[in-house]
Amino acid sequence: MSTYANSSSLKLARGAIPEPELSDALSLGRRRFVEGRQEISTRGTENVQFTVLVRGIACRYQIFGEGGRAIVGLILPGDFTVPFVSEPTRADFGVMTLTPSEIVEISRAELWARAQNNLGLSRALNRSTIVDGAIARAWLANVSRQPADKRLAHLLCELRHRLARVGLADEYGFPLLFTQLDLADALGLSVVHVNRVLQGLKKVGLVRSENHRMIFPDLGALEQFAGFSPNYLHPGAIEENRERQPGTQPSHTAHARPAP
């Protein structure tokens, strides 16, 4: 079972849907388990239903040429696999799991009807779509304008921030359950290049990896190096994570601070 499986943290993180409204919305759907590296939906699928990732990690992808894959988005617990829109559309990408995952499939018509009578749910769904677009633009800027080392650092910072919002990371790191090939396909780099860049970040002390966990000895230094700011993720949508505020302790006390 994936480490990304803390059911108590499940929320539509991008939309900040309060727990009662979330439970109400999810009750409309059907839960099912999907093995790792399996298709959830294919390119061209019409959104007659929306899928929320409950556990695991998945990606949006496109295939080019003779099977070359480009990952155009990473889907974390609480995310929609396809951005929410009220009108029927067809996805221009496929969705597949990267780890064993659990999903909830909700009828688009039912979810939209429920949102029409629930202002909090409607606002949250709208915000989730806004942040989806913001993440896509940040990825485009990162891949097109950043050198490889900062490109990787920026993606790691984003993943840590998004996982922390659903209780699956702290300021010292997060479980890294996908492969260097996945990172390469998300960054537009070769696997060899990703490995080389990752070793470089380790050499200068910005990251470490142990037991399938990515560790950040100094998160502030990594974010500064990457030029990362979480503003595009709309952190004000939910109660800010208190882990980095002066005088407070991270909520994940099981992980001791790594030595520099």
Q: What is the pLDDT of residues 55-110, one digit of tens each?
A: 999 999 999 988 899 999 999 988 999 998 888 899 999 999 999 999 999 998 88
Q: Where is average pLDDT lowest: 183-187, 188-192, 252-256?
A: 252-256
Task: Answer yes or no: is pLDDT of 175 > 90.
Answer: yes
**Residue from 73, 54, 75, 57 nearest 11 by CA:** 54
Architecture of domain 7-141: Sandwich (2.60)
Report the distance separating Cα 161 and Cα 163, nearest Å: 6
Q: Which residue has the higher pLDDT, 254 or 61?
A: 61
At 127-148, the pLDDT tens digits run: 888 999 999 999 999 999 999 9
The residues, any chain, with a CB within 8 Å of residue 245's CB and separated by 6 or more, are: none
Tell me 213's DSSP state: E
Other CB atoms closer than 10 Å to residue 64's CB: what's the count? 8
Task: Answer yes or no: is pLDDT of 149 > 80.
Answer: yes
Name residue 245's amino acid: Q
How much is the pLDDT for 232? Answer: 94
Q: How confident is the model at residue 165 (pLDDT cuts 50, 70, 90)?
A: confident
Q: How confident is the model at residue 21 (pLDDT cuts 50, 70, 90)?
A: low
SS3 103: strand
Report the distance separating Cα 101 and Cα 96, nearest Å: 10
**In the structure encoding, which two tokens stand for residue 196, read together?**
């080389």
Q: Which residue has the higher pLDDT, 185 or 237?
A: 185
* HEC profile of 28-97: CCEEEEECCCCEEECCCCECCEEEEEEECCEEEEEEECCCEEEEEEEECCCCECCCCCCCCCECCCEEEE
Q: Would you say the CATH fold of 148-244 matches that of 7-141?
A: no
How do the domains of the chain map onto residue ranges? 7-141, 148-244
How much is the pLDDT for 63? Answer: 95
CATH topology for 148-244 is Arc Repressor Mutant, subunit A (1.10.10)
On whether the CB atoms of residues 12 and 111 are closer than 8 A, the answer is no
Q: Which residue has the higher pLDDT, 12 or 102?
A: 102
On whether the CB atoms of residues 203 and 195 are closer than 8 A, the answer is no
Q: Please state, rounded to an integer, the average pLDDT across all residues of the chain.
A: 84
What average pLDDT does this structure show over 26-43? 92
Task: Answer yes or no: is pLDDT of 25 > 60.
Answer: yes
Report the distance separating Cα 163 and Cα 218, nearest Å: 17
In percent, how much of the chain has pLDDT > 90? 60
